[in-house]
Structure 1
């Protein structure tokens, strides 16, 4: 059962585990070649569309934002959790990180040249996802790329502990790529490609490559 407190619960949970989560994901891009490949393709797409400022939404401790900058992309991060933003600023002091919610992005229309949201839609209830994707569409320039990474499946579960055994209260939603792609198309995106990670395993993930029409 959903309550109006899901956004507060998500923020509080990630404030609580901010340091442990940063340690957990710190070397994930270095370890996983397909993640590096996906980010390289995203960076190429940003440049091919003319370049410019890129938003990493739900940036967590900033490791993806930082990697994009090493690829020559002018990326900044936005995260719901002030605790995670503090860690991102600590670990990457030369980059820009802001506290904000993807449910109401404080960015002008058509102001970013690319948008990436890795493992951040997974805590958004189904009923809110179309509105969030609409926010993505609003802030992106026409023709700009969008990349989403999310858990694959059909179930949702309540996560009550994580990252060093600290308490959490967040729902984690696994979704089928076809459903996410349909939301994107309905919002005015063209879905260009799909990548499944560990497709034979229960903990499968998907990356969708899309572009704002």
Structure 2
């Protein structure tokens, strides 16, 4: 099967910038208070889970957030489309598991995950393919499993930088969708949005950020 062109662009771009990205992306402990609080809330929910499976950090990059969750007692592992990012994560955190994979077709069993983290990792997906990604979230979560998704939002802007992370060439596109639209797509995929936080630009963030907690309903609900 031919790989979608946007995935090729994302893979090649992040392979190129992996080292520079790792240097520039902050440790989760250095995030703003609200971002840390949301990550902490997700970790607490996962700590009290029903033992239905591990937690997948999808689009894990160099593994910093995966390791942060693991340090909070969450059985986390990472998945990223960039082989070089996965190499960096494995080198930095050899005690954790990191896999190469795409959110559009996860090589994970149905209902095998207690939780999913999609942290600033869905914005390179063309809007028309977001339902496919969210359907994969629903498929791989166990009944009662939870999703935490966060990232930049907007009014449908498409950002196509030529360089990033210190001037390295990139070819990806970022799609900034409205928070309401993302919430609606999650609901359409069968995930119940239980909390939403929208942060205005400030505190180091140049754009509006939206965070979502969602849950796959229990089988009997």
For this structure pair, what is the TM-score category when the shorter chain's length is used for normalisation?
over 0.9
**Structure 1 CA distance for aligned equivalents of residues 145 and 48 of structure 2:** 9
Equivalenced residue count is: 211
Note the 1:15-164 alignment, pairs <5 A: 15-51=15-51, 52-154=53-155, 155-164=157-166
Asked whether the equivalents of residues 28 and 65 of structure 2 are also in contact (C-alpha less than 8 Å), the reply is no
Q: Which residue in the other structure is 1:194 paired with?
A: 196
Per the TM alignment, residue 175 of structure 1 is displaced from its structure 2 partner at its CA by: 1.4
Structure 2 Cα separation of the partners of residues 97 and 198 of structure 1: 33
**Helix, strand or coil at the partner of 2:113:** coil
Matched with 2:173 is 171
2:213 counterpart of 1:209: yes
Deviations 1:121-161 (A, max 9, x none): 10000110001100010000011110111111111111221
Distance 2:31 2:7 in 1: 31
Q: CA deviation at 1:176?
A: 1.2
Q: Which moved more, 1:109-118 or 1:158-167?
A: 158-167
Superposition TM-score, scaled by structure 2 size: 0.91
Contact 2:200–2:207, Cα closer than 8 Å, also in 1:
yes
Deviation at 1:13, TM superposition (A): 0.2
Structure 2 unaligned residues grouped into runs of 5+: none
User: For the Cα contact (< 8 Å) 1:29–1:35, is it kept in 2?
Assistant: no
